[in-house]
Structure 1
Amino acid sequence: MGKNQAYKAMQRAKMTTQTGPGGRAEDVEDGMMDGSFHSPEWHAARLASLQTSHTITWEEFKRRQKDEAKKKEEQEDDEVRLMKEYRAQLDAERASKLARGVNHADRKALSKGKKEKDKDRRKKESRRKRKHSSETESDSEDSEGHKSRRKGHEKSKRDKKTRDYKSRKKSSSSRDSCTDEAYGPVPLSSFFESCKS
Structure 2
Amino acid sequence: MFAEENGLKGDPRLQRIYQAINVVPHFPKNGIMFQDITTLLLDHNAFKDTVDIFVDRYRDMHISVVAGIEARGFLFGPSVALGIGAKFVPLRKPHKLPGEVFSEKYSLEYGTDCLELHVGAIQPGERAIVIDDLVATGGTLSAGIRLLECAGAEVVECACVIGVPEVKGRCTLIGKPLYVLVEPRQLDQCF
What's the TM-score, normalizing by structure 2?
A: 0.15
Higher helix share: 1
Look at both structures and tell me which one has the larger radius of gyration over its CA atoms. 1
Greater relative contact order, per chain length (Cα 8 Å cut-off, separation 6+): 2
Higher strand share: 2
